[in-house]
Amino acid sequence: MAPGIDPWTPRLLTNNKVPPEMLSIASIMASPSVHAIEPSQLLHYLPTYRVLICLRCNYAIQPGAVARHLKEIHHLHHLSRRPFVDYASGFKLSQPSDVVLPDGTQFPVPLLPVQNGLACSFAGCAHLCVTAKRMKQHWMSVHHISSSDLGGFWDPVPLQTFFRGNALRYFTNPALLISSSSDKSGGLTNTTSTTPVSSDNRESSPYQTLITSDAGLLDHYRNYTYKTLSCGPETDDVFRIIVPQLAHQFPFLLHGILSCSSLHLASIDPQNRPYYTIRSIQHADQAAPAFRWATINVDSNNSQAVLAFAFFLVVYALGSESNDQPLFLSKDNSQEDAPSLEWIEILRNGCSMLCPVWTELTTSPLAPFTALWRDDLGVPTNPNDPLLITLLSIIPEYRSELTGYYIYRDSAVKLAQAFAFIERCGSPPTIWDVLNSWPMRVSPEYLALLKHNDPGALLLLAHYAILLQPLREEWFLKGRAMELIDEIAQRLKGNCSPQIWEVFSVMQREHFPSDPI
Ligand SMILES: [Zn+2]
Ligand SMILES: [Zn+2]
């Protein structure tokens, strides 16, 4: 270690490409409040059905099971659960067996995913399930027809369910099923006396109409998507009202909104996923040039639109299936400017560009957004933090190379702070907390190490993925953290010291078991 250099102080290295004052926007922001998720951001009541939907899990929680759900699925501590349980107790909830299913005009129920399923076509049966194997079992046990005699005695239908587990009960659009004589049902239970209509009509979307207009996409955003991005009452109105208003003046922002709305639809309407995915890419492509131009010409006029666009950029980068790169990693590390990190760099640079107008933004209608990117996490570095001790234990790797040593150490300290910050939030973190707590704060030198597959840099990123885990059910993040860990494992294997491999493997076993129960 060079004399006089305090390893605990983040170093500003000499080859910074971005001026240090622009490294993060944090120094300019000072919002002391810890924004945690409000109960209304996690739990959404559907009065028509008297069910409470968990917006992270996309299914309804059984009455009386809210506390257990929060504990077992979202790992909320006892005290943090209290406000959610209180909030839930304010709603009248139906027992799963009493929930009235949607009629033909109500299907699909918003917020619930739509699955490709099958409806039994035996007259009067209308049994629903999701696999041909299950349907064959159904025919054997109920209609006493063996699978060898079977040939398409079922029809494809879109399915939803309010509940999972023992209360799982599929339903479809009743308009896809037509009444038939109940006499034919013989000894069968008199559930629904219906049979599917001919398969000609089955090509239609499970959503009443495929949303083909920009106005329709904007409506979907204002009704549903905004809620999945917002993180509390303070940002609800900004996402839902102010941002769309701003988008009238700034077409790149409108395209950003429409791109995310399409991507959201692609995630909940599998039948039309290809269509919505393409729409999403088209809107993202239309937004990009004007947004780039705006970021290098930021002024009081366009600063709010630039700030707002950053949120849609992130969601698009995370959720786009066209992005086959693992999060934060590039496929081809030989390229100096590998594209996969582009979004995080655009975000970092975009925020830096806003520096001159930041104070103005903190008093603008978008002030709640500026609070999400605050600099000071307000958590001191604890040198006895077990995570930090573990991460620093591999530091002998860097003895020979001083620059790498400081970059690694600085990033590890910041990562430990990010963990402390997220833990202090108590409630499930938002994606904005998780991004602001670390990727926005590491040095450009760290990102450069990452691009070159530096084992220490990869080890830190793997630990960062733990913070993404509570968000794994968000529609724009499904499967991404696990995918990242698999990719890091591949890159580290055989290319790092035994110590690094050991620390990585322990972390992987604990947080990313390959066979989650
Ligand atoms: Zn949940
Ligand atoms: Zn049947």
Q: Is residue 28 part of a domain?
A: no
The larger pLDDT score, comparing residue 329 to residue 316, is at: 316
**Alpha-carbon torsion 189, 190, 196, 197, what sign?**
positive
Q: Are 135 and 120 in contact (CB under 8 A)?
A: yes
Give the Å distance between the CA of 177 and the centre of ligand 1.
Answer: 31
Give the Å distance between the CA of 63 and the centre of ligand 1.
Answer: 14
At residue 262's C-alpha, the angle toward residues 260 and 263, to 5°, is: 60
Q: Are 169 and 151 in contact (CB under 8 A)?
A: no
Give the closest ligand to the alpha carbon of residue 471: 1
Strand blocks (E) in 136-216? 154-161, 170-171, 177-179, 194-196
Give the closest ligand to the alpha carbon of residue 70: 1
Give the closest ligand to the alpha carbon of residue 125: 2
Containing structural domain, residue 184:
115-203
Give the Å distance between the CA of 146 and the centre of ligand 2.
Answer: 13
User: Which domain-ending residue is among 323, 346, 369?
Assistant: 346
Query: pLDDT tens, 439-467?
Result: 989 998 998 888 888 999 999 999 999 99
Q: Is 323 left (phi over 0), alpha (psi -120 to 50) or beta?
A: beta
Counting runs of H as helices and runs of E as strands, what totals does the chain give? 21, 9
- Residue found under tokens 């002030």: 367
Parallel, antiparallel, or unpaired: how do β-strands 128-129 and 115-120 relate?
antiparallel
Q: Are 449 and 457 in contact (CB under 8 A)?
A: yes
Let me know whether 412 and 492 are in one domain.
Answer: yes
Let me know whether 246 and 328 are in one domain.
Answer: yes
Give the Å distance between the CA of 355 and the centre of ligand 1.
Answer: 37
Q: Are 238 and 305 in contact (CB under 8 A)?
A: no
Give the Å distance between the CA of 53 and the centre of ligand 1.
Answer: 8
Give the Å distance between the CA of 117 and the centre of ligand 2.
Answer: 14
Cα–Cα dist 266/483, whole Å:
20
Nearest to 43 by CA among 67, 19, 23: 67
Confidence (pLDDT) at 2? 34
Give the Å distance between the CA of 492 and the centre of ligand 2.
Answer: 52
Cα–Cα dist 458/451, whole Å:
9
- Residue found under tokens 């968990």: 54
Give the Å distance between the CA of 119 and the centre of ligand 2.
Answer: 8
The amino acid sitting at 372 is L
Cα–Cα dist 57/43, whole Å:
10
Let me know whether 391 and 315 are in one domain.
Answer: no
Q: Is 380 left (phi over 0), alpha (psi -120 to 50) or beta?
A: beta
Give the Å distance between the CA of 125 and the centre of ligand 2.
Answer: 5
Give the Å distance between the CA of 477 and the centre of ligand 1.
Answer: 15
Q: Is residue 463 part of a domain?
A: yes
10 Å Cβ neighbour count for 300?
11
Give the Å distance between the CA of 57 and the centre of ligand 1.
Answer: 4
Mean pLDDT of 407-417: 93
Q: Is 165 left (phi over 0), alpha (psi -120 to 50) or beta?
A: left
Give the closest ligand to the alpha carbon of residue 186: 2
pLDDT category at 307 given cuts 50, 70, 90 is very high
User: Which domain-ending residue is among 303, 331, 346?
Assistant: 346
Q: Token pair of 164, please?
A: 């999972």
Cα–Cα dist 512/469, whole Å:
9
Let me know whether 394 and 442 are in one domain.
Answer: yes
Let me know whether 283 and 333 are in one domain.
Answer: yes
Let me know whether 219 and 320 are in one domain.
Answer: yes
- Highest-confidence segment of 6-20, 51-65, 127-141, 340-354: 51-65
Give the closest ligand to the alpha carbon of residue 66: 1
pLDDT category at 322 given cuts 50, 70, 90 is very low
pLDDT category at 199 given cuts 50, 70, 90 is very low
Cα–Cα dist 72/62, whole Å:
14
Let me know whether 341 and 282 are in one domain.
Answer: yes
Give the Å distance between the CA of 137 and the centre of ligand 2.
Answer: 10
Cα–Cα dist 481/472, whole Å:
7
Q: Is residue 55 part of a domain?
A: yes
Mean pLDDT of 491-502: 92
Q: Is residue 371 part of a domain?
A: no
Return the bridge partners of 156, or none: 118
Q: Is residue 364 part of a domain?
A: no
Let me know whether 222 and 320 are in one domain.
Answer: yes
Q: Is residue 27 part of a domain?
A: no
Contacting residues for 238 by C-beta, under 8 A, at least 6 apart: 230, 365, 366, 368, 369
Give the Å distance between the CA of 74 and the centre of ligand 1.
Answer: 6
Give the Å distance between the CA of 142 and the centre of ligand 2.
Answer: 7
Let me know whether 506 and 393 are in one domain.
Answer: yes
Q: Is residue 360 part of a domain?
A: no
Q: Token pair of 47, please?
A: 């009065």
User: Which domain-ending residue is among 297, 324, 346?
Assistant: 346
Give the Å distance between the CA of 346 and the centre of ligand 2.
Answer: 55
Give the Å distance between the CA of 198 and the centre of ligand 2.
Answer: 16
* CA Rg value for the chain: 26
Give the closest ligand to the alpha carbon of residue 111: 1
Cα–Cα dist 186/209, whole Å:
37
Q: Is residue 374 part of a domain?
A: no
Q: Token pair of 480, please?
A: 């991404």
Q: Are 473 and 57 in contact (CB under 8 A)?
A: yes
Let me know whether 270 and 198 are in one domain.
Answer: no
pLDDT above 70: percentage of residues in the chain: 79
Give the Å distance between the CA of 202 and the centre of ligand 2.
Answer: 19
Q: Is 60 exceeded by the pLDDT of residue 249?
A: yes
pLDDT category at 331 given cuts 50, 70, 90 is low
Give the Å distance between the CA of 218 and the centre of ligand 1.
Answer: 26
pLDDT above 90: percentage of residues in the chain: 32
Give the closest ligand to the alpha carbon of residue 191: 2
Cα–Cα dist 53/60, whole Å:
4
pLDDT category at 203 given cuts 50, 70, 90 is very low
Cα–Cα dist 176/467, whole Å:
43
pLDDT category at 515 given cuts 50, 70, 90 is low
ipTM of the prediction:
0.93
Nearest to 175 by CA among 153, 152, 158: 158
Confidence (pLDDT) at 398? 62
The amino acid sitting at 309 is F
Let me know whether 44 and 71 are in one domain.
Answer: yes
Let me know whether 74 and 131 are in one domain.
Answer: no
Give the Å distance between the CA of 113 and the centre of ligand 1.
Answer: 14
Q: How far is CA 350 from CA 55, 248, 355, 395, in A?
A: 30, 21, 9, 33
pLDDT category at 193 given cuts 50, 70, 90 is very low
Confidence (pLDDT) at 321? 54
Number of domains making up the chain = 4
- Highest-confidence segment of 15-19, 227-231, 400-404: 227-231
Q: Are 429 and 471 in contact (CB under 8 A)?
A: yes
